[in-house]
Amino acid sequence: MKKLLFAIVGAYLFSFLYACEADSSIPLEEIIRFNNPAEESLSANGYSQLPIAVVIPADAAADRRTVKFTTDLGLFSNDSASIYVVAENGIAATQLHGSRAGRAKLTAAIMGYAVNKTVLFTAVEGSDILAFVDLPASPLPADNLSEHALQLRIDPRSPASTRKLTLTTDLGSFSNQQTTIEVQANAEGLAQTYLKSDKAGRAIIRVTRGDFLLEDSVYFTAPDPEQLIRFTPGSFPAGVADGATAIEIKAQINNKMPAGRRKVSFRTDGGSFAAGSTVNSVEIEPDASGLARVLLRSRQEGFSTVTVEHNGINRSAEVEFKKAMPDQLSVETPFTIQAGIASQVTVTAQLSRQTGLPSSGFEILYTAFTKDGAAIGLFKTQKASGADGKATVLYSAGNTTYRGPVTITATLKGNTAITASTLLTVVDAEE
């Protein structure tokens, strides 16, 4: 009977103390105590887990069973430095892990009562926490296309909550087109991303996993222009300087170039990239195969320089436009001319071709014959053809007694097949 009474009174007193502040008259170990040694050790590898448990009275009221655990080093099973755990059957349990060496002070508290213990996190080799797998040693071209494959390894036993890795670089960009990326290691403990750059140099890569930092480098070299753009001097056939016949200029870029970096610029110091205009520069988008095409026309005989630019790479080549030969000729004069050395008219020879316009500078040979086939008069102040294809000369019948038609014939010098004639009538001079 006395034992039963003592148990009832003790239980009442314990319940009362739960509702009040801590009372040193009750032994602390009867209220809360660690179910672990006072000091333990744990590898600071980020994945090893140490069970942590405290014991409280098994018959504590339901609203008096929540224990708060805190630590100044490492993390509990919720990946936080503190956690609330509801005891079951008088046991409140969690787990502790960490990736930094040092001594951790753990506290477990309930209703104003607290107990402490320590856990020693022991250092591990860095490669056991985080390591690169076969980091590329050979440089890649800085073409913003070629990619270094970056693979990292962690212990595959690591919990999911510790598998996130953060990478940063001071040169280039990762798979997300940014200088920082977060990757998650898979079940085998492997994580991968890629790095590319449009600038040559050393890229320093920093990887963090929790408190652990890993650093290494990869390299990019100046790209071979031929790997970015192929534009071969001397590969373009000569054109004709008629302003209409075009030379097709082709440039081949790497068809794996991403959108936004595919455009190709063309410019020239002679000719035009648009018919009938003076457009000497143009920017175009290549086709799916990476081929960029433009048409260049010119009225200027000789060589023109064409420069192609793509992603900072410039290539130049000379193209030739040959003289545009006429294939037709017509001639015009006034209907009449007065006899007399002082009387003269303008004879106009018009050169043309089926495509475009002929080049300038062609000379014309002129003749004048009467209906009887006799030469008559003289030509002077002759001008070669201009950009419009016109050539002119002044004609005078001279002091002649002949009256009647005169056949004026114009013939292209060097090509007698291109010729034309017209009639001009010699009349009396006006009094």
Q: What is the mean pLDDT of the chain?
A: 88
The model's pTM: 0.54
Instruction: Give the dihedral sign, CA 287/289/292/293.
Output: negative
Residue whose C-alpha is closest to residue 79's, from 177, 23, 163: 163
Domains detected in the chain: 2-122 (2.60.40.10), 126-221 (2.60.40.10), 225-322 (2.60.40.10), 328-427 (2.60.40.1930)
Q: How confident is residue 373, by pLDDT bands cut at 50, 70 and 90? A: very high
For residue 30, what pLDDT is reported? 84
Per-residue pLDDT reduced to its tens digit, 399-417: 999 999 999 999 999 999 9
Look at 161-170, 290-299, 304-313, 328-337 and tell me which has the smallest mean pLDDT: 304-313
For residue 386, what pLDDT is reported? 95
Per-residue pLDDT reduced to its tens digit, 201-227: 999 999 998 778 889 999 999 887 766
pLDDT of 14 > 50? The answer is no
Look at 112-116, 137-141, 223-227, 251-255 and tell me which has the smallest mean pLDDT: 223-227
For residue 12, what pLDDT is reported? 43
For residue 5, what pLDDT is reported? 40
Instruction: Give the dihedral sign, CA 383/384/387/388.
Output: positive
Strands (E), 123-186: 131-132, 140-141, 148-153, 164-169, 180-184
Residues 6+ apart with CB under 8 A from 71: 81, 82, 96, 104, 105, 106, 107, 119
Q: What percent of the chain has pLDDT over 70?
A: 91
Strands (E), 98-162: 102-110, 113-122, 131-132, 140-141, 148-153
Q: What percent of the chain has pLDDT over 90?
A: 61
Collapsing DSSP to helix, strand or coil, 28 comes out as helix
- Count CB-CB contacts under 10 A for residue 304: 20
Interatomic CA distance for residues 274 and 280, integer angstroms:
8
Q: How confident is residue 1, by pLDDT bands cut at 50, 70 and 90? A: very low
Answer yes or no: are the C-beta atoms of 34 and 54 closer than 8 Å.
yes
Q: Which helix (H) or strand (E) holds 298?
A: none
Q: How confident is residue 168, by pLDDT bands cut at 50, 70 and 90? A: very high
Strands 75-76 and 180-184: unpaired
Strands lying side by side in the sheet with 419-427: 336-338, 419-427, 404-412, 364-370
Residues 6+ apart with CB under 8 A from 341: 396, 398, 399
